[in-house]
Amino acid sequence: MFDWDAMLSFEGNTAPYLQYAYTRVQSVFRKAGEWDATAPTVLTEPLEKQLAAELLKFEDVLQSVADTAYPHYLAAYLYQIATLFSRFYEACPILKSEGTTRNSRLQLAKLTGDTLKQGLDLLGIDVLDVM
Catalogue all structural domains in the chain, each as residue range(s) with its CATH number: 14-32+39-122 (1.10.730.10)
Burial of 18 (0-12, 13-18, 19+ CB in 10 A): buried
CA atoms within 13 A on the CB side of 130: 2
1 close to 99: Cβ distance less than 8 angstroms:
no
pLDDT(1) > 80:
no
pLDDT, residue 10, reads 45
The pTM assigned to this predicted structure is 0.89
pLDDT in tens, 35-45: 999 999 999 99
pLDDT, residue 3, reads 44
pLDDT in tens, 52-65: 999 999 999 999 99
